[in-house]
Chain A
Amino acid sequence: MQTRIFDKFNLFVFISAFGLIAIGLVAIYSATYGNELVSANFTKQLVSACIGIVIVLAIMYMPAKYISMTAYLFYALALIMLVAVLVIGKKIKGQTSWFNIAGFGIQPSEFAKVATVLALAFFVSNRNKEADITKPRGFFTAVGICLAPVALIMLQPDMGTALVFMFLILPVLYWAGMPNYILFFIIAPIITAVCAFLGTWYFVSAIIFVILILVILKRNILVSGIVLSIAITAGFSVNMVYNKLQPYQQKRIMSMFNPESDPLGAGYNVIQSKIAIGSGGLTGKGFLMGTQTQLKYIPEQWTDFIFCMVGEEFGFIGSIIVVILFLVLIWQTIHIAYLCKNHFLSICCIGFATILSFHILINLGMIMGIMPVIGIPLPFMSYGVSFLLSNLIMLGIILNAYRNRKEYV
């Protein structure tokens, strides 16, 4: 009996996700403790999590084809909402990314993440000719599905969220069967551009690397030449574009990579969050005892900087538990994607795993000063009703994929 339940229900995924939510709630409670203006955030997050359980179970027990059939519909709805938010949305801190419906702030870009993965998965899991991603037509349509929301989100403007969509493309298409050499053709210019930005020697080594791989791949000499020249052009143009920017824009980019160069702006939070996490030590200072976080040196620490609370008050032990829970969650999601016979759900799982991994890497990396300062929240833990609900919808679909993993349709 017991084995039959777990045959249909992946406990690892469920427990790790709700474990993260629980730790997140504790941290939000601590972060907003004694701050009348935002202490309601804890209650809002708790209520959302409870509603979320219902949503997760509902999606999990839904027939798989309901999800695939509505993929385009949700995608269209998401695009409409992204357009609408630009027109009637509320402007908060220079970004127009919020609707206000009956006192609840709704952030369409969060739901667009789920909808885009669904639409992309539905498109590439089609077995007809138009959707063959090894052909230009199918490939560019797939890329277009990802980039349409990016364009709208850039207008808000919200660079962090837009990046999430862009990073979605390659892992999903690669899982869907894109050949190795195409993957390499796409990442070669990206690698050279980033390396060129870092310095001349990085640029030179990147070009040598690209040439080596091209030799190994042994593709047509003309194609290889084109790839190499595009990569080199990308490397040169990134610095040209950078030099054309206004000094204040350059400063903003530099402070993204080196936050300490701007201790007043972007760097301020990073300096403070590193101190907070570092001062937690092995066991932490205890619940509600963090000096950094309780003295509110970090603005809005219940959103993007929620991990500081964990780091300072629960120390290395608390932090590593969070990392392990994330690892279990992502690893299981990839495993489900592999097991799942339904091509559509398999690709969905990879899409969600990519989104979650990207968030985790950028958010935790930024807080600990090893990643550029890009403001995106930490899945399941950061405060934010829209964000939490969109994470839980992903969770529901992942669990659904596990339940239906032996079905082909």
Chain B
Amino acid sequence: MELNKRKNLYYLFTFAICFVIAFRLVQLQLINPERFDRESEKNSVKTIITTPARGLIFDRNNKLLVDNKPSYSVVITKKEFDTNTIPLVSALVNIAPDELRSTLNYIEGTNRFIPTRIIRDVDFRVISFIEENRELISGVDYTIEPIRLYPTDFKASHIIGYSKEISKSMLQKQEGDYYRQGDLFGTTGLEAGYENYLRGEKGYEFILQDSKGREVGPLNEGKNDVQSVSGYDLILSIDADVQTYAEKLLQERKGAIVAMDPSNGEIICLVSKPDYDLNYFSGKLSPQVWTALNTNPDKPLFNRATQTRYPPGSTFKMVSALASLQEGIMKPNSTIVCEGSFRFGDKVFKDHGAYGSIGFVTSVEHSVNVFYYKLVLKIGFDNWTKYGRMIGFGEKTGIDIPEETKGLLPSPEYFNKVYGPKGWTQGYVVSLGIGQGELGVSPLQMAEYTSILANSGTFVQPHLVKFLKNPNSGELIPVSYKKRELEIEKEYFKIIQKGMYLVVNGNGTARSIRNPDVKIAGKTGTAQNPHGRDHSWFIAFAPYDDPKIAICVMVENAGFGAAVAAPIAQRIILRYLLGQIDDSEIIEVKGNFPD
């Protein structure tokens, strides 16, 4: 019978399994058991984790902006730690006993055999106590770890950002198991955006120790050890001198400045004020400082350059102009009659003067409101939204730091959703035509918009990092960014550029910043602020013939765009293009500017 044959196959497998196991037992237990006996005498493997230094950060001229310095961290190996010494240890490192206890409770599984960081950046006094009292506090040790050092007066806190200890929820959510309790994790700015490059890779050393905790030698002759790998350095597109100058120009005002190269999207400076001192975050962050930063009504941690959502005011008018030209609704030489006010339904929209029959160039130069009230109704809401989106409003620009708002670009669908299909009128659209109402944009989006106006229709993804640098080989790895051409004829941009040129160099709203050396083209704007004084906008690019810089300045509660924002923009342009420094105070020009 066939089963008889098959039975033997099953027997064979069973005997084979048992034979293999018995053979292995002989190998482990009878041949050379002394080796394992010795291993079991020095019975624990101590794992030492070496934390690599985070990558350095340089500006576009290779000036070192962010460095590292050594600091001491206290670590506890739970397996060897005696919980009776909690009061002593908590007094030593200045942590409440309960907090220390709960930290220890969190250490489970094989982590019990690995030193876990309890507190970082402690005094040398603590280290010498540990050295002198090893017997007393077994399981407590220290390691030397790099922490951030900011070697110059360069600040740029919102660009660089900070790292914090990884939270418990992040630890559980992480893919893989790289991060351990107490590890630093880039939380904001470039530290967060490039966390995977900056952090490097941790190294591991395995050391055998005897039952008294004395080190006996490396495990397996060090073959299992893993070398730590330093993180990549970042080479930024930021010009440190321009950045520092721009931060100084804003003084104590609240606001933001973004300047970029319109040809490639490289950000030259990105300022958000008020800011904060990154040194707070480099060692152990004191809870008092953290609370103070978070409860400060001026919100210093908030990145105004990328996260604010204010209406852009008149700076937005060129969107309607481009839309009307591209859609063929207006000819480049078409005109609109501007009477000085505009009646729509029972509402009257005001203007600062009557200009008669004018074309696009004059409408931009004098920022004529009636022109754009009428124009936005001609092109229609759908087209207005279409071109706004094409330029990048209502979307993230894709800058390489995580803090960024999409802003808000209203559309008919959006109004239908918020107010219901009958809850809003064309009057809302009339307001949007001059950049007021629910439209919300960030200074970064405005700088991007200015770049598009300057380079005649190319969206260049704004970015802060030009190269990653391999710290060992010195190899520079360029970071790639997107570029896309807008579906708008280049000749239409020439009309807009001409109007913006006249804003400064003609009879326009920013003629006060005219400069004989550099031809600046710009546009003022004022964001109506229901909670207080209006916010001031100014966008500009220069030189007019061959733009090298596109800039957006937004100053909160500073009134008209020409008053404060325009002079700041002018000085940064002159600083960047000519190296001129003007340290005189910017005096807010009082008066009623048309805007």
Contact = CB atoms under 8 A, between A and B. Distances in A.
Interface stretch (A36-44, A191-199, A264-272): A264-272
A391 interface: no
A275 B43 contact: yes
A357 to B, nearest CB: 6
A269 B112 CA distance: 13
A331 B40 contact: no
B25 A251 contact: no
A264 B4 CA distance: 49
B29 A299 contact: no
A277 B15 contact: no
A38 B480 CA distance: 56
A338 B7 contact: yes
B35 A278 contact: yes
Contact of B40 (A247, A275, A324): A275
B484 interface: no
Given A247-B176, A279-B36, A279-B40, A338 B14 contact: no
A201 interface: no
B219 A263 contact: yes
Contact of B6 (A175, A278, A311, A330): A175
B28 A361 contact: no
B118 interface: no
Interface in B152-204: 175-178, 204
B114 interface: yes
B26 interface: yes
A370 B39 contact: no
Given A264-B114, A271-B45, A281 B26 contact: no
Nearest to A268: B110
A281 B29 contact: yes
A282 B32 CA distance: 11
Contacts of A315: 29
A298 B352 CA distance: 82
B105 to A, nearest CB: 13
A279 B30 contact: no
Contact of B21 (A269, A299, A334, A364): A364
Contacts of A278: 28-29, 33, 35-37, 39-40
A58 to B, nearest CB: 28
Most chain A beta-carbon neighbours within 10 Å: one of B4, B29, B35, B36: B29
A350 B17 CA distance: 16
Contacts, number: 140
A8 interface: no
B516 interface: no
Contact of A291 (B3, B40, B219): B40
A370 B24 contact: yes
B110 A320 contact: no
B10 to A, nearest CB: 5
Given A278-B28, A365-B21, A331 B14 contact: yes
B474 interface: no
B110 A330 contact: no
A331 B11 CA distance: 7
B584 to A, nearest CB: 56
A177 B5 CA distance: 12
Contacts of B47: 263-264
Contact of B25 (A174, A320, A327, A337): A320
Given A260-B220, A315-B29, A319-B29, A357 B24 contact: no
B484 to A, nearest CB: 30
A274 B28 contact: yes
B211 interface: yes
Interface residues of A, number: 56
Contacts of B110: 264-265, 268-269, 299
A316 interface: yes
Nearest to A311: B29
B308 interface: no
A316 B14 contact: no
B224 interface: yes
Q: Is the interface of A mostly helix, strand, loop or mixed?
A: helix
Contacts of B24: 364-365, 368, 370
A273 to B, nearest CB: 10
A243 interface: no
B579 to A, nearest CB: 47
A323 B15 CA distance: 10
A265 B177 contact: yes
Contacts of A297: 43-44, 113
A308 B178 CA distance: 29
Contact of A338 (B3, B15, B39, B220): B3
Interface core residue of A264, A338, A357 (most chain B CB under 10 Å): A264
Nearest to A261: B224
A334 B39 contact: no
Nearest to B15: A327
A291 B41 contact: yes
Residue from A269, A278, A353 having most chain B Cβ neighbours under 10 A: A278
B176 A251 contact: yes
B13 interface: yes
A295 interface: yes
Interface in A268-324: 268-269, 271-272, 274-282, 291-292, 295, 297, 299, 311-312, 315-316, 319-320, 323-324
A277 B28 contact: yes
Contacts of B14: 327, 330-331, 334, 353, 357
A66 B200 CA distance: 64
Contacts of B20: 361, 365, 370
Contacts of A248: 175-178
A319 to B, nearest CB: 5
A276 B21 CA distance: 16
A165 interface: no
Contact of A316 (B3, B26, B35, B211): B26
Contacts of A276: 40
Contacts of B4: 338
22 contacts: A260-B224, A261-B224, A263-B45, A263-B219, A264-B110, A264-B114, A271-B45, A275-B39, A275-B43, A277-B36, A279-B33, A279-B40, A282-B33, A315-B29, A316-B25, A323-B25, A326-B18, A330-B14, A350-B10, A357-B17, A361-B17, A368-B21
Given A282-B29, A357-B14, 18 more contacts: A248-B177, A260-B220, A263-B204, A263-B206, A264-B47, A268-B113, A277-B25, A277-B28, A278-B36, A278-B39, A280-B33, A281-B30, A281-B37, A311-B29, A316-B26, A320-B22, A327-B14, A327-B18
Interface of B: 2-4, 6-7, 10-11, 13-15, 17-18, 20-22, 24-26, 28-30, 33, 35-37, 39-41, 43-45, 47, 109-110, 113-114, 175-178, 204, 206, 211, 219-220, 224
Closest 6 pairs (CB-CB, A-B)? A278-B36, A248-B176, A279-B40, A316-B29, A281-B33, A279-B36
